């Protein structure tokens, strides 16, 4: 079971390696791959130092799985090369997500759509993963008609450069800017790139990916993405309009019984999900559950999850686990 991690020296790549180790994925040989400038560096896996190789070297080693977190252009270039060589690619970029031939997978929800012979599997956007984890069981029972989403996204979603910007600002140090504005003591309604519609690519992902994962193109969705000065996880305020009436107790039961979801909701004791709670955890935390009294069949909820773990690395490894267990490689 050779496994390549492409983009192994980045924030998500390093976490992918950590998660492979934590979950005891049966790796016989790890192939950490990265750009030319990182080749020869060493990373630690299961107490041993492993040298970073070039992407071409990883291809030639014919791994069973190649888990990518190297950006869209690298995925477009290299995923087909791995796939043609018989490797299953699990890609964390946006490059393949909306390709109708490529499965977009959150294992707890739609792993059943993966077929033997699929060679590229798309890992959804971090904000989408945590939201659909909280919505899937509710949609199955009540049918979601419309979603209004506001995200409050960690700087870790932008990467190491953004974390460094925030930390520099807190120390009063001038440094490289990942964002067009200061992020410490600030927030701004922007993430991704601007689209002609006036929305951003991060907002559009929430629309398109949610529909694809839940298998329902009729769900109406509007989103606003906000970047905030925290690490630890993304937060989302979600207003859901159902087609059918719901019961609050049943909503709580459905969420409590969904694998990977934790209802953390005791407002009187100030217990509600926060990035500081979700940091370095794989669960999706849901709280502030309450009926929207301004409109029938509407529900409010607050969702928080670690965007680097379940939002990226852990979800990718779970896909590999499912495919390995079911001999789909």
Half-sphere exposure of 92 (CA within 13 A, CB side): 32
Catalytic-role residue among 139, 181, 187, 234: 234
Contacts of 159 (CB under 8 A, 6+ apart): 10, 11, 178
CA atoms of 97 and 218, how far apart (whole Å): 19
Please report how the helices 126-142 and 201-214 are oriented relative to each other, as an axis angle in degrees rounded to 10. Answer: 40
CA atoms of 70 and 37, how far apart (whole Å): 14
Clarify whether 126 is annotated catalytic.
yes
Do residues 315 and 19 lie in contact, with contact meaning Cβ atoms separated by under 8 Å?
no
275-293 residues labelled b (16+ CB within 10 A) or e (exposed): bebbbebbbbbbbebeeee
The runs of H, that is alpha helices, within the chain are: 11-22, 55-60, 72-84, 107-110, 126-142, 160-171, 201-214, 248-256, 275-278, 314-325
Clarify whether 234 is annotated catalytic.
yes
Closest CA to 91 of 66, 116, 128: 66
Do residues 158 and 267 lie in contact, with contact meaning Cβ atoms separated by under 8 Å?
no
- Point out which residues pair with 29 in neighbouring strands: 2
CA atoms of 212 and 210, how far apart (whole Å): 5
What DSSP letter does each residue of 200-220 carry, written as one string? BHHHHHHHHHHHHHHT-TT-E
Torsional class of 46: left (φ above 0), alpha (ψ -120 to 50), beta (otherwise): left
Q: Is 168 helix (H, G, I), strand (E, B) or coil?
A: helix
Catalytic residues: 126, 234
């Amino acid at each position: 079971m050779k496994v390549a991690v492409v983009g192994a020296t980045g924030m998500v790549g390093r976490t992918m390696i950590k998660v492979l180790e934590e979950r005891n994925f049966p790796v016989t040989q790890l192939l950490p791959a990265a750009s030319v400038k990182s080749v020869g560096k060493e990373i630690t896996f299961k107490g041993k130092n492993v040298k970073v190789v070039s992407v071409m070297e990883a291809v030639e080693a014919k791994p069973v799985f190649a888990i990518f977190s190297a950006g869209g252009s690298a995925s477009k270039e290299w995923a087909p090369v791995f796939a043609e060589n018989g490797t299953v690619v699990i890609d964390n970029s946006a490059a393949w997500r909306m390709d109708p031939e490529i499965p977009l997978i959150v294992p707890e929800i739609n792993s059943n759509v993966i077929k033997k012979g699929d060679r590229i599997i798309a890992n959804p956007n971090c904000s989408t993963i945590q939201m659909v984890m909280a919505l899937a069981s509710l949609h199955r029972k009540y049918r979601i008609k419309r979603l209004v989403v506001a995200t409050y996204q960690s700087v870790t979603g932008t990467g190491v450069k953004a974390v460094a910007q925030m930390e520099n600002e807190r120390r009063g140090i001038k440094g490289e800017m990942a964002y067009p504005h200061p992020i410490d003591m600030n927030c701004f309604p922007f993430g991704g790139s601007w689209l002609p519609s006036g929305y951003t690519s991060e907002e559009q992902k929430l629309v398109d990916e949610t529909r694809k994962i839940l298998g329902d193109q009729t769900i109406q969705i509007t989103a606003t993405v906000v970047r905030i000065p925290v690490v630890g996880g993304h937060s989302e305020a979600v207003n859901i309009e159902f087609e059918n009436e719901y019961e609050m107790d049943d909503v709580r039961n459905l969420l409590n019984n969904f694998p990977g979801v934790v209802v953390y909701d005791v407002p009187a004791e100030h217990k509600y999900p926060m990035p500081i709670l979700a940091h370095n955890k794989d669960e999706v935390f849901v709280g502030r559950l309450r009926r929207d009294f301004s409109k029938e069949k509407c529900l409010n909820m607050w969702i928080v999850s670690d965007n680097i773990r379940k939002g990226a690395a852990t979800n990718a490894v779970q896909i590999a686990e499912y495919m390995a267990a079911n001999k789909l490689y």
